[in-house]
Amino acid sequence: MAIKNNEAIARAVFFSGDAVKRAMFDALFNAEPQIDAGTFNISTSSELTEALANQLSKTNNPLVVVIDDTIADAEVFALSKRVDELRPDAGIVWVASSKKADAVAAMQAGIRAILAPPADDASVKATVIETALAARKRWESVVANTAGAQQVDTRGAGITIISPKGGVGKTTVSTNIAVGLAKKAPNQVVLVDLDIQFGDVSSALGLKPTHTLMDIVKGPAKNDLLVLKSFLSEHESGLRVVPAPLAPEEASLITVDEVTNLLKTLMNEFEYVIIDTAPGFNELTLAALELSADTVVVSELDVPSIRGVRKALDVLQALNIAGNKRHIVMNNMGRDGGLKMADARKLISEPVEAEIPSSSKVMYSTNEGVPLLSRAKRGRAAQQMQKLVDRLTRNVKPGAYTPNEGVVA
């Protein structure tokens, strides 16, 4: 099912006893085609309960519930928990009265996002849209299950980048794909560094992370979505990042099940999950490939690399994984190694989707921690990166939504 032009992602309803806040919410989303917005005037918990029940009975489509601090926190949590039980696909946003809001209690009640003061219009709008996108994905999964699907398939969001051998620029390709997609889908892209011993995604993006994969799969973030999101590093492009552990010896402590659970959670919350892997194959890479809809294979134009790509494709076929959309990328083109593209295509027996030339700009961007697609001036290398991003962009969005009528403004 595809969203038609000017069709809303989700219904978003705001419950507040403050007329000024309700008017601001209406003004914020009146001209926003992605959100079908409505407001309710409530002053007591009983009024909120009645209004919520009315909306739940009328709205079978993607739903975002926004509740402010009109009533006590404990009552908000109790009602949110009930909404979460009745409509687990719905997204609940809490407009808290203080920066010291109880995030743990909110998460336990099913609240998926917290807006604490001072939350400006841009923050409110971004949070509601982000919550709406995630709610729509959950809603579509419920619809698929109801229609008879035996298992929810979250693979629409996963893109795994692999290379048979190291040193071919795989991480450079991964970071540029992620930044390019982040421009197309703001706040809906996360890049996971699964080269857990020697990953350098953080360096390639110029980040100094405070939390890594180790913290995310071992600490409170593994059971708390709000904590998980707060542990993600944020790039200036809006891209979120799960950095590799800082100490290589920590790699042995991270299990395949922990990584699989993390990837599934991220794929349920983000439009795109980009996974940069270690060279070759290991258990984590195979787990990522099984969950992904697209696989990007990065190589250079030399005989060992090309043979490695062919062997890798044969292994994937034998294991019956990554038989989905595969994208072959030739990196550092132009180096005279005696091998021609025609020879490479013949050996690989699959089309090459991007040919990224060797360029000093690529080297400088890597050393500076600024991906090519973050820059305003672009050469041929950036153009080929962008071509790959365009190929990976999901043109078909989840299901159509018909707004319900009769919501009080």
Angle between the N-to-C axes of helices 256-269 and 121-146, in degrees from 0 to 180, rounded to the nearest 10 = 110
Q: What is the DSSP secondary structure assignment for residue 315, as one 8-state letter? A: H
Give me the tens of pLDDT residue by residue for the chain, a chain 409 residues long.
444 445 688 899 999 999 999 999 999 998 888 899 999 999 888 888 888 887 877 777 888 999 998 888 888 888 888 887 778 888 899 988 877 767 777 877 788 888 887 788 888 999 999 999 988 888 887 776 655 444 444 445 799 999 988 889 899 999 999 999 999 888 889 999 999 999 999 999 999 999 999 999 988 888 888 888 889 999 999 899 999 999 989 999 999 999 999 999 999 889 899 999 999 989 999 999 989 989 999 998 888 888 899 988 888 887 777 665 889 999 888 765 567 788 788 888 888 888 888 878 887 787 888 888 887 667 888 889 899 999 898 643 333 222 222 222 2
**141, 321, 322 from 151: Cα distances, Å:** 9, 17, 18
Fold: same for 10-146 and 155-392: yes
pTM tops 0.75, yes or no: no
Residue with tokens 């990042």: 241
Ordered by start, the domain boundaries in the chain are 10-146, 155-392
| Phi, psi for 329 (deg, rounded to 5) | -120, 125
Beta bridge partners of 66: 14, 93
| Phi, psi for 180 (deg, rounded to 5) | -60, -45
| Phi, psi for 330 (deg, rounded to 5) | -100, 120
User: CA triplet 91, 94, 100: central angle to 5 degrees?
Assistant: 140
Q: Which CATH number applies to 10-146: 3.40.50.620, 3.90.1720.10, 3.40.50.2300, 3.90.180.10?
A: 3.40.50.2300
The fold adopted by the segment(s) 155-392 is: Rossmann fold (3.40.50)
Please tell me whether residue 187 adopts helix, strand or coil conformation: coil
